[in-house]
Amino acid sequence: MATMEKVPMLAEGYERLTADLKVLREERPKIVEAIEEARAHGDLSENA
């Protein structure tokens, strides 16, 4: 098991990383759902 290493950062950097993580956690399920819907229709091409 890897140990957690503390990395010093400014409050602004922490806030930016926290905001990025929030966006990723909200957007990823939407993307997964869109891929599942496309797969159900047999369409996985990028330019469809």
pLDDT tens figures, 11-47: 999 999 999 999 999 999 999 999 898 888 886 676 5
Neighbour-count burial of 8, counting CB atoms closer than 10 A to its CB (0-12 exposed, 13-18 middle, 19+ buried)? exposed
Name the residue ranges covered by the structural domains of the chain. Answer: 11-40
* pLDDT reported for residue 4: 86
* pLDDT reported for residue 27: 93
- Cα(48)–Cα(39) distance, integer angstroms: 12
* pLDDT reported for residue 47: 59
Query: Which has the higher per-residue pLDDT, 1 or 42?
Result: 42
Tokens encoding 23: 């966006």
Q: Give the DSSP letter of residue 38.
A: H
Tokens encoding 37: 């819907």
